[in-house]
Amino acid sequence: MARDLAGKRVILTGASGGIGRATAEALAGAGARLAVSGRNADALRELAGRLPDAVAIPADITSPDDRRRLVDEAVRHLGGLDILVNNAGVGSWGHFASSTEEINRRVLEVNFFGPVELTRCALPHLTDGVQPCVVNVTSMCGRKGMPAWPEYSASKFALVGMSEAWRGEFARFGVDVLTIVPGMTDSGFDKNWLRTDGKADLRFDKGMTPADVATGIVLAIRSNKTETVLGGEARRLLRFNKFFPRLTNWLIARKVRKLYTGG
């Protein structure tokens, strides 16, 4: 199925900056009508002011009241809902042994429970939409858990798993479920991590741009592609892990040991 984005009514979370902001611009350029959401009200209003027929709805997706208000206001402004893009997320860069329960719960609330419950609020409206779909922006960490990203990996694995379950369930409503799996992106995401004491040489400046990811997201929505892996690094890692999982784990473990022992 080819999905025409002209006139489609979209809720996009995490739109204040980075991938979300670029995706908002790409969707608007394709003719979609947007309700952009996030926690930075000023950035959202500036973004919405530059896009045709867009509304800014500041919201914290971990809040039940905010989730309901976001969906209600978006539906009222747009006259319905066709697409929900769950993009909001938070990261924590550090190893499990020195992490905390508080960090674990916070990451899961933002990256998993928030989008899942927002989808629950949106589903009754999506079932009445035109070529409706839910788009979950996950991560290559949602297909291969990575050291120093334990909470983040777990949250993205959970969202990938929920997406796969929804795909079978939502088919009876005519609602498609698409999963986006980006690799490393120079999006400024690292500026808002809950902790930053992990050990590795992370070169975000060598990763994809937010515009690259946004282009991939829009293409996936248009082509109705079930799962889209974005970025050469992510494709190489996941392909290698598919055929050589034990070797992949051994290489990763060896690298971590060297980081901590110098040997």
- 93, 112, 149, 152: the active-site residue: 152
Q: What is the pLDDT of residue 217?
A: 98
Burial 125-143 (b: 16+ CB within 10 A, else e): bbeebebbbbbbbbbbbbb
Residue keyed to tokens 């006139």: 7
pLDDT of residue 200: 67
Query: Any idea which architecture 9-234 has in CATH?
Result: 3-Layer(aba) Sandwich (3.40)
CA contacts within 13 A on the Cβ side of 110? 23
Is 217 in contact with 208 (CB distance < 8 Å)? no
Question: Looking at residue 85, what is its pLDDT?
Answer: 98
The answer to whether residues 91 and 194 touch, using CB atoms and an 8 Å cutoff, is yes
pLDDT 10s digit of each residue in the chain, 263 long?
799 999 999 999 999 999 999 999 999 999 999 999 999 999 999 999 999 999 999 999 999 999 999 999 999 999 999 999 999 999 999 999 999 999 999 999 999 999 999 999 999 999 999 999 999 999 999 999 999 999 999 999 999 999 999 999 999 999 999 999 999 888 777 677 888 888 766 666 677 999 999 999 999 999 999 999 999 999 999 999 999 999 999 999 998 888 877 65
Res 186: pLDDT: 80
**Catalytic annotation on 152?**
yes
Closest CA to 18 of 131, 124, 137: 137
